[in-house]
Amino acid sequence: MKKTSIGGQALLEGVMMRGPSKYAAVVRSPGGLLVKEEAAPYPKDRHPILGWVFIRGVCNFVQSMSIGMKALFWSADQTVAEGSNQEAEGGGKSGQKGIGKGTFAISMALALVLVVGLFTYLPTLLSGLIPAFQKPADAAELPVHINFLRNLFETFLRLVILLTYMLLVSQTKDIKRTFAYHGAEHKSIACYEAGDELTVENARKNSRFHPRCGTSFLLTVVLISMVVFLLISLPLQMLAWDNAFLRMGVRLALLPFVVAISYEVNRLVGRSDNILSRIVRAPGLLMQRITTREPDDGMLEVALDALKRVVPAEEGRDAWGTE
């Protein structure tokens, strides 16, 4: 079975697919499918040094985030335009309102603050309030075993906060539809990897869970950050290590390094289907039970349309590990 490096992202009423040379975003509107295509070669294709180990992970991550945000803002623009058109044609207020671009931008900014606050600062702050994780009065520095337990506890809190957040937002109507488009993205890519014709009927037969989803990468980042932060914290214990802002600052500074390692781990795990790879992928697949839903045929049509636009003409150009 083929393993492709083509990946995607659910949008507002649509799907974005990113191939080896470009990305395509497709959004469904009452008037039909709206399409946006742009060239997006891998960073290493422009500068070979950006394809080196540990460098490529950060570069590809930054580019993927940039493309994803651009596609999200574009899909938000389409809902604005569609809502305006419906209001103009109806001679009054439309029953289906689009999301304003300014509102969407503010929402994304608030989401970023929420991510930093909830997933970085809050666990650090809470762990510092627990007496068992504080430095003993007669100790010059925090004992290694306490430092380890505190780091483990912070990671546990991050996972709990992440899962709770996902469960809560997944109950809203709009997010349910977005998660269904996420499922359509997975089914379409699985259909392509199986070598089947890219039709709605063939895509529907596949699972909505995919082993190389970005959800798995997110969990890998959380777990690897625990190991990296533990190792780096040992030589820093003589500092004011109980300061939550200091700990948060160090975590943010180490993020590129964590992303680089996580990228290489996911790259290796994605190459095989042995027992170890399945164990590493298992948490991500479980989390996809929250972040994906079964799509309808219209959603599959959107995802397949986006996928067809980025499949390269050159055989093997999109093989897993070539990005």
Distance CA 108, CA 117 (A): 14
Distance, CA of 277 to CA of 220 (rounded, Å) = 12
What pLDDT does 15 receive?
97
d(CA 223, CA 156): 9
Instruction: Please provide the average confidence, as pLDDT, over all residues in the chain.
Output: 84
Determine phi and psi for 2, rounding to 5 degrees: -65, 145
Q: What is the pLDDT of residue 139?
A: 64
If you search the block for the tokens 């790259």, which residue do you land on? 267
Please write the tens of the pLDDT for every residue from 127-138: 878 887 777 766
Residue 125 lies in a domain: yes
Residue at token pair 């996972």: 159
Count of structural domains, the chain: 1
In this prediction, residue 273 carries a pLDDT of 84
Q: Quick one: pLDDT at residue 80?
A: 63
Residue 137 within any structural domain of the chain:
yes
What span, in angstroms and rounded, lies between the C-alpha atoms of 169 and 173?
A: 9
Nearest to 241 by CA among 156, 127, 141: 141
pLDDT digits (tens, 9 = 90+) for 20-47: 999 999 999 888 899 999 999 999 999 9
H/E run at residue 59: helix 55-90
Dump pLDDT digits (tens) for 74-94. 998 887 665 545 544 544 443
Rounded CA gap, 228 and 84, in Å? 49
* pLDDT beyond 60 at 314: yes
Parallel, antiparallel, or unpaired for β 7-11 and 22-29? Answer: unpaired
Q: What percent of the chain has pLDDT over 70?
A: 83
Instruction: Show the DSSP H helices in the chain as ranges.
Output: 43-46, 55-90, 101-116, 122-128, 144-169, 173-193, 200-204, 214-233, 244-269, 275-291, 297-310
Give the structural domain span for 230. Answer: 100-169+209-291
**pLDDT at residue 141, as a whole number:** 64
| pLDDT > 60? residue 185 | yes
Residue 57 within a domain: no
Question: Cα(101)–Cα(237) distance, rounded to whole angstroms?
Answer: 46
User: What pTM was computed for the model?
Assistant: 0.84
- Judged against a pLDDT cut of 70, whether residue 234 lies above it is answered with no
Query: Once rounded to an integer, what is the mean pLDDT over residues 6-22?
Result: 95
- Asked if residue 255 has pLDDT above 80, the reply is yes
